[in-house]
Chains A and B, each alone.
Chain A
Amino acid sequence: MNPTTRPTTQSPASETGPEQLCAGWYAAHGEAVYNYLRFQLLAPDEAEDLTAETFLRAVRAAHRFDPTRASAQTWLLTIARNVLIDHVRSARARRHVGLDELRDLAVDAPSPEERMLRREEVASVLDAMAGMSAEDREVLSLRFGGDLDIPEIAELLSVRAGTVRTRLWRALERLRERMK
């Protein structure tokens, strides 16, 4: 999603019903939240459950959302991050990504062979990411899954933009090493 086209504010719960509020947030940011979670989870079902939990929590805490302090996307990804932390605390042992678990992958390759290659490539990326540190996974997922830019990631993590750049660069280096 192009950051310049993102809606920056949403009506507070007092002005619209919670269902409309949730639907509006999901329409604008659902894919970013889902992808942020999906980059760090091995199965679509888990990402769906946690996406739903994120939006339910967001509705519950809607009165606390202040668009002058953060964009709706950054706020929702902050909640998704906390949902994920809770989930990881109770997560089962790590396993490998099966190709059948990539049914939600968006592939525009024309031939079946190319689609299969793409799936294998993505499976190897997710496998490599699953073995990385939580900090590496998080910064990669916020940037590429959550579609946030460097200043937005810095705001979400409460660190300086330079720190984010360094973490991102090192995470990409480590990911590349793992994929060799």
Chain B
Amino acid sequence: MTGDHSSRTGDPHGADTERLLAGLRFEPRASLGPEIAGRVRRGEVAKGGLRPRRPPVGRWLAAAAVLGVALPAGVIFHRLLAGPVVRVDQCCRDLDGGADANDGYLVHARGRRIERLVLYEDLDGDRRYSTPDRILLARGPSPSIVDDSVAGSVRICCVDLDGEGPADDGLLVLNSTGERVVLAGIFEQDVRAPTPVLR
């Protein structure tokens, strides 16, 4: 391990630093475990990280009424229950079957629902989706095939794309000749489902 590095380089300070870290231990307070178990017993669910909290439903409805926003209540409730939008932007890989690993994917997910998926070629080299980039594919909530001449596929697994916690999501891309993307979908590795469903 790293001790090998320290002894190999004859660096006593490096070994000291490693020993210091190896001996460093913090003890959580004894009541933390029972406290967490109690929260689970009471049915408390994870907040999904420390993202900004959703405002109370009543405040939303009052604001909507005051402003005269005529959004259907069903849409508001659906959005509130679905949670905040999680945005993941990953670059760079070869997604279009070209020679270069210069493609990225942008995912907007709300809960388990994929709201937007964009595959792009990172033309300006900033390793994220930005205006100068070339869009290879852009879709909404449902995957659809735009061409039937599939030349190859790219499968990326496993990362957390929907903000649910574990890194159990994957991206499947089908591409055709000429560096074209014909289908892209998100799937989840679920031990109960032998065949992952494309979202």
Chain A interface residues (CB < 8 Å from chain B): 18-19, 22-23, 26-27, 30-31, 34-35, 38-39, 44, 47-48, 51-53, 55-61, 63-66, 75, 78-79, 82-83, 85-87, 89-90, 104-106, 121-122, 125, 140, 143-145, 149-150, 158, 165, 168-169, 172-173, 175-176, 179
Contacts and interface: CB of A to CB of B under 8 A. Distances in A.
Contact of A19 (B21, B41, B192): B41
B59 interface: no
B36 A165 contact: no
Closest 6 A-B residue pairs measured CB to CB? A86-B49, A56-B46, A57-B165, A57-B46, A144-B21, A106-B25
19 contacts: A23-B34, A30-B28, A30-B33, A31-B28, A51-B28, A51-B36, A52-B32, A57-B48, A57-B165, A61-B165, A61-B168, A63-B191, A82-B49, A82-B165, A82-B167, A149-B1, A165-B2, A172-B21, A176-B13
A76 to B, nearest CB: 9
A27 B48 CA distance: 23
Contacts of A90: 50-52
Nearest to B158: A158
Instruction: Tell me if B's interface is mostly helix, strand, loop or mixed.
Output: loop
A64 B112 CA distance: 14
B2 A47 contact: no
Contacts of B36: 22, 26, 51-52, 55-56
Contacts of B126: none
Contacts of A31: 27-28
B46 A176 contact: no
